[in-house]
Amino acid sequence: MLDKIDFNVAPITKEEYKPIHDDLIKKLVVLQQEAHNKGIGLVVLFEGWNGAGKGGRISDLLYYLDARATNVCVTESFDPKEAKRFRKKGYDSTGFYPLMQEFWKELGPRGNMTFYDRGWYAKGMEHLSGHAHGSMRNLGKAISDEQLMRYAETTKAFERQLVNDGYIVVKFFLHIGKKTQRRRLRALASNEATAWRVDDSELEATKHYDDVYQFFDRMLPLTNYDFAPWVVLNGEDKRRANLGIVRTLVNALDEAVHSAPDPEAAAAAAKAAANSAGGNAQAQADERERTPEQQAEVRAANEAQAQAQSALAPASSRFTIVSDHPTLKGVDYHLRLDPEQYRTQLKQEQKRLYNLELEMYQKRVPLILMYEGQDAAGKGGSIKRVAQALDARAYTIFPSPAPTKPELMHPFLWRYWTRLPKAGHVGIYDRSWYGRVLVERVEGFASPAEWARAYDEINEFERDLTKWGAILLKFWVEIDREEQMRRFQARADDPNKQWKITEEDWRNRDKYPQYCEAVEDMFRLTSTEFAPWIILESNDKRYARVKALRIINDALEARLH
């Protein structure tokens, strides 16, 4: 793709440039407001050579745009010392956070424009090249096709998820020749006012222009996705580059603004927004107030809806699913520990976890514990027994209430990408990203197309976490219907526990058929080899708590020793 740029073409004159540029800018300013009002997000990535003028092109563009609806992310420089420290000491993670977290955190809401000055491709090149060792020599050959393909999977997942969620992704690559790069960087380095913008490693890298060129020449075609294609521009002619940038943005926004919206997605979004604002309560009787005949009618209607929803779920995942993935049909609700066994085993496992956590911290292993399950199944109690064994500074518990308005204006995984534990720490999730394929599926807060594609989006997220080095354990806490009713009634009868039971909890019991089908589809489509599901049989809370602790400890032992 780079060889298509002709550096010998005559530069555009100011007289040619200005009327065309001014006309395009007027259109862009109007389209920015229309896109903002329609909730269309725009992600603009500027990649290219050091010295190609990425910052200048962004500045020229932002001068005309509404600053209230734009934000600029300048990618943090790759820290070779930190990377070398992780590799040299044999830490079990590739850094304190996953490589893509920085870009998720900086993502603006739908309706805004997010500009990335260097992004996931520049960071990926540095990461893959072993830049920690201080050389770009033979970069184009040093990175294998397999390494490049694996990284391309990550970039493709990120960009596709954005496009599926209402963003436009535009990727610019500013190309300049070897002599131009060397001249520009030396000029910056020799000027006291700009010398800080160029470090020794960038000047040294100009010697390896041909090696880096080979990398770009392989990477660009591989990541030229139909939903997020590359636009390669002549960075030696800033006027020509500016016109290419503005024209591309105008065309992309114009097409998006005039495209018909998805009515199912719009209806689901409105319902989710009402739920977030607390306006989704339903004034209707629950099973305690119905006759047997009425209850039978309600159950029949919910079973029909459960089957209809399940029919819309994907037939399979493109990820490898474990052959013995869990199913609710195989749960043994009779598993028990007597009180004496419980006290002894709980104490043993908590002491074991305390010691393993100290070692885990030193080896920088991230531990992610995720709990989903039936209402009143005992998720909170199990989490409490894990937290009791940990240093309070080493863990964070992340609850998942209804998404806030800012969270609803981002992809559903955004609030989890921005809430990850640091390497060496523990992140505990009381409900999780699986809300998209559980409550949002059942309640209609996501359209069928949205929750159907979410299974593999979740698999992509979890793949990135485990590639980073995280131990990811996913617990489903399960109780039967009779035990749930007993616990509901006990909470309702106890003034000290009444806050734990709501009218919504009672109404959710009606939707047991829908949730059962949703859980079975979740197990079938997301119990991957790198992140399988684990059922905690919790009719006896004591048994479930000890089982969870033992599984956590065994996973840490396997990794650390």
Does any domain span residue 360? yes
- What pLDDT is attached to residue 547? 98
Is the same domain home to 386 and 325?
A: yes
| 113 touches 65 (CB < 8 A) | yes
Is residue 338 located within the same domain as residue 378? yes
For residue 365, the tally of other CB atoms under 10 A from its CB is 24
Give which of 48, 53, 34 is closest to 2, Cα–Cα.
48
Is residue 489, in this structure, part of any structural domain at all? yes
Task: Specify the pLDDT at position 133.
Answer: 43
One domain, residues 246 and 359: no
Residue 131 pLDDT: 45
Do 244 and 355 share a domain, yes or no?
A: no
- Answer whether residue 301 is part of any domain: yes
- Residue 219: in which H helix or E strand, if any? helix 209-222
Residue 233 and residue 358 in one domain? no
Instruction: Please tell me whether residues 61 and 152 are part of one structural domain.
Output: yes
Residue 283 is predicted with a pLDDT of: 56
Instruction: Answer positive or negative: Cα dihedral of 50, 52, 58, 60.
Output: positive
What element of type H or E holds 503? helix 503-508
- The pTM score is 0.94
Per-residue pLDDT of the chain (561 residues; tens, 9 = 90+): 899 999 999 999 999 999 999 999 999 999 999 999 999 999 999 999 999 999 999 999 999 999 999 999 998 876 767 777 787 777 888 889 999 999 999 999 999 999 999 999 998 888 887 643 445 666 667 788 898 999 999 999 999 999 999 999 999 999 999 999 999 999 999 998 988 888 887 888 888 899 889 999 999 999 999 999 999 999 999 999 999 999 999 999 999 999 998 999 999 999 999 988 776 655 577 888 889 998 999 999 999 999 999 999 999 999 999 999 999 998 999 999 999 999 999 999 999 999 999 999 999 999 999 999 999 999 999 999 999 999 999 999 999 999 999 999 999 999 999 999 999 999 999 999 999 999 999 999 999 999 999 999 999 999 999 999 999 999 999 999 999 999 999 999 999 888 888 888 888 899 999 999 999 999 999 999 999 999 999 999 999 999 999 999 999 999 999
Within this chain, do residues 293 and 253 fall inside the same structural domain, yes or no? no
Q: Are residues 512 and 405 both part of a single domain?
A: yes
The answer for 430, left when phi > 0, alpha when psi is -120 to 50, beta otherwise, is beta
Q: How many domains does the chain divide into?
A: 2
The number of C-alpha atoms within 13 Å of 193 and in the hemisphere containing its C-beta is: 0
Token output for 11? 């530069």
Task: Give a yes or no: residue 271 inside a domain.
Answer: no
Residue 540 falls inside a structural domain = yes
pLDDT at 323: 95
Residues 219, 139 share a domain? yes
Task: Tell me what pLDDT residue 330 has.
Answer: 87
Residues 516 and 399 in one domain: yes
> Which pLDDT does position 118 carry in this prediction?
92
Q: Note down the domain range covering 242.
A: 36-175+212-257
**Claim to verify: residue 253 and residue 126 sit in the same structural domain:** yes
Closest CA to 175 of 86, 52, 288: 52
- The residue whose two tokens read 């010392």 is 81
CATH number, domain with residue 531: 3.40.50.300
Same structural domain, 530 and 438? yes
Instruction: Identify any residues that bridge with 114 across adjacent strands, giving them in sequence order.
Output: 43, 71
Residue 127 domain-assigned? yes
Q: What is the DSSP string of 425-494?
A: SEEEEES-GGGGGTHHHHHTSS-HHHHHHHHHHHHHHHHHHHHHT-EEEEEEEE--HHHHHHHHHHHHH-
191 found inside a domain: no
Of the three residues 257, 280, 313, the one that is the final residue of a domain is 257
Q: Closest Cα partner for 540 from 332, 369, 329?
A: 332
Compute the distance between CA of residue 404 and CA of residue 415 in angstroms, rounded to an integer.
10
Residue 240 lies in a domain: yes
Q: How far is CA 315 from CA 43, 312, 455, 519, in A?
A: 32, 9, 11, 15
